[in-house]
Amino acid sequence: MKKINIVTYVTKAVFSIAFFIVLFSFVQGHELLDMLDRIEWFYFVLSFLLIPVMLSISCLKWKILLDVKGEHVPFLTLLRIYLIGYFFSNLLPSTVGGDVVRSFYAGKLIDNQAYSAVSVFIERFSGILFLILLVIFAPLLRPQLYSSPYIYVPVVVAIVLLGIISWVWTVKDPLSLPDKMMTIMFTAIKNGADRSGISPVKTAVSFLIRCNDGLFRRLKKFHEELIQAVKIIQNNPALLFKIVVLTIFFYIFTWVNVYVSFRAFGVNPDFLTLCALIPTIMFVAHLPVTLLGNLGFFESVFVLYFMLIPILPAESLAMGLLLRVKMLFLGILGYLVYLSYKYYRNLELEQLEQFVEKKQQETSV
């Protein structure tokens, strides 16, 4: 496969190391080791038993979307593909995530790459949209949390994102005017940089122009996929109900997952307070700033936010590392499934590599 951008890779690796350095300035090594002595094995095992439940809910939602086209792909087949997606997302330092891989494999099964991509988009976007709503409203379970900037800033961002999504959803060509305005602005800036003759300035402006072009390219693709998703749901109202119900179940089990993972280390937090905080934590923790499923940053966000309750940093870090171990476990399972594909389907893997390279070129700045 095409190698990822070295600068991006190194930068994210440095950020991962930096976050772990900060983490261990809050948590001493012996404190983390002490947490191992507090493991309650019933909850520890239960925490791992939640993995197939949550995975099955996501996979079932995806299957329902694929079945709309009449191509009834076996559930276990999709489950294997979902695991391969976890391998790409959590174990490979790639700029292309598991969603692209899932889209490719499902597209091969239904012989329709376009609809496969849309099904993955709806499955993922429905979860993101519901998360945005939870970020705004879940803190109502503990209204005093709104006084913290760690809560009200993400709430404001979520409201803005919800407004943008609504605008893109309803306006026929929402990006035309902003695109023209940015083009005019960057043309003027580029002309000024060219007249200055200063090479660093010209390089910086060229980089910003590429970033702007890449952003609008992604936004246009998002708009196209969103319109297709709306049409599919409008033609099948029962589909919307199923998606909503499964998404709600997924987030209920997400709350339970974090609660049980805390209990695995003898920590018994207030469940409603967890429900109030976890959507914001998930919202912030999934900013793509480090490698391998946001290694380091993901755990740091948990420690920071649970200090608001308060839960001791060592307790939050132990819980976060348990969640990380479970993600790695899914990634390893995905790798084993991927090896079976590699053994039996070499031609298909070559096509996957070409497909991923194409997506990398589309998403590169």
Residue 182 lies in a domain: no
Q: Using CA atoms of 312, 318, 320, 322 in order, give the dihedral in degrees to the nearest 10.
A: -160
Maximum distance among all Cα pairs of the chain, rounded to whole angstroms: 69
Q: Please, are residues 297 and 16 in contact by the beta-carbon 8 Å criterion? A: yes
Domain count, the chain: 1
Quick one: 110 exposed, middle or buried, by C-beta within 10 A (0-12, 13-18, 19+)? middle
- Residue 22: helix, strand or coil by DSSP? helix
2: left (phi over 0), alpha (psi -120 to 50) or beta: beta
Residue 209 lies in a domain: no
Question: Along the 365 residues of the chain, how does pLDDT read in single tens digits?
Answer: 444 457 667 777 787 888 888 888 878 778 888 998 999 999 999 999 999 999 999 999 999 999 887 778 899 999 999 999 988 888 776 545 788 889 988 988 888 888 888 899 999 999 999 999 999 999 999 999 999 999 999 999 999 999 988 888 888 788 888 888 988 998 888 888 888 888 888 888 888 888 888 888 878 887 888 888 888 888 888 999 999 999 999 999 999 999 999 999 999 999 999 999 999 999 999 887 777 678 889 999 999 999 999 899 999 999 999 999 999 999 999 999 988 876 556 656 667 767 766 766 665 54
Residue 193 lies in a domain: no
- How far apart, in whole angstroms, are the C-alpha atoms of residue 44 and residue 319? 10
Residue 298 lies in a domain: yes
Structural domain for 111, as ranges:
6-171+237-363
What string of H, E and C letters represents the secondary structure of 130-191? HHHHHHHHHHHHCHHHHHCHHHHHHHHHHHHHHHHHHHHHHCCCCCHHHHHHHHHHHHHHHH
